[in-house]
Amino acid sequence: MKAAHRYILTLTCPDRVGIVATVSELIASLNGWVTEANYHSDQDSGLFFMRNEIKADSIGDQIEAFKAGIRAIATNFNLHWALHDTAEKQRIVLFASKASHCLNDLLHRWHNGELDCTVSAVISNHESLRRMVEFYGIPFEYIPIIPDNKAAGFHQVAEALEQLQPDAVILARYMQVLPGSICEAYNGRMINIHHSFLPSFMGANPYQRAFERGVKLIGATSHYVTEDLDEGPIIEQDVSRVSHRHQTKDLIRLGKDIERVVLARAVRSHLERRVFISGNKTIVFD
């Protein structure tokens, strides 16, 4: 079933009395129908976070009056706010290397309507996933990253993104470390899946290192990408129990299931504007 047309209001501001009441009064004055409301007062930062979903047809042709009202409130409460129209689909670009499990899962969910977005392209440094991607009718761009000249490959990546102008970039097991310039350009809009429960086992070969350490839990972490490898704000995590009976290949097999689910949850939360970045942490409204 197609989701109802909604406006999503997101805002952040210094916490104080009267924020919810003032915004709610504005919405009610325009006969706005709130279908979901989320609030969080962060004691450490002193910030207030708010997300409201409003039926679009309840606002009708008063949307400009609504925006004007929010701008007036923003002046008084020092708000950082945005109003998102769910009828305007976000454009995403997916990156992958050889592993297909996360990419295929996202494409399947998108095809079934679980992810409300437009997939503009898949970019890969290998050709092996082309047929799978083109099965879904999505453009596939092969951009090799040559170890002796990675800068040239990443220049092509930057040019491709410049042409595609995505709202978000999803690294679905893209096994390359992107340069800082690309990370900065998509700050807060580039999502990665790391195959360990961060901050444990950052970097390469986490399952092998987890096996060598004899862990009893393995996990996966989806986070926003920053210049610092695997240290960006965490959006979603999950774990699975393992034991001394499991070899590295078993950890990889079990881990792939976790990776798929964790990345899909993170992408969905981002697309639904449920994630707020606060320093190196996130507030994620479920």
- Residue 223 has a CB neighbour count (10 Å cut-off) of 23
As annotated, the residues of the chain forming the CATH 3.30.70.260 domain(s) are 6-85
Query: CA gyration radius for the chain?
Result: 21
Per CATH, which fold does 90-284 belong to?
Rossmann fold (3.40.50)
pLDDT of residue 99: 95
Q: Is the pTM of this model over 0.85?
A: yes
165 vs 172: CA distance, rounded Å: 18
C-alpha span between 64 and 141 (Å, rounded):
40
Q: What is the pLDDT of residue 213?
A: 86
Domain limits, CATH 3.40.50.170, in the chain:
90-284
Name the β-bridge partners of 49.
12, 40
| Cβ-proximal residues to 141 (8 Å cutoff; 6+ apart), any chain | 121, 122, 123, 124, 160
Low-confidence ranges of the chain (pLDDT < 50): none
Give the residue numbers marked as catalytic. Answer: 230
Separation CA 231–CA 233 (nearest Å): 7
Q: What is the pLDDT of residue 241?
A: 92
CATH architecture designation of domain 6-85: 2-Layer Sandwich (3.30)
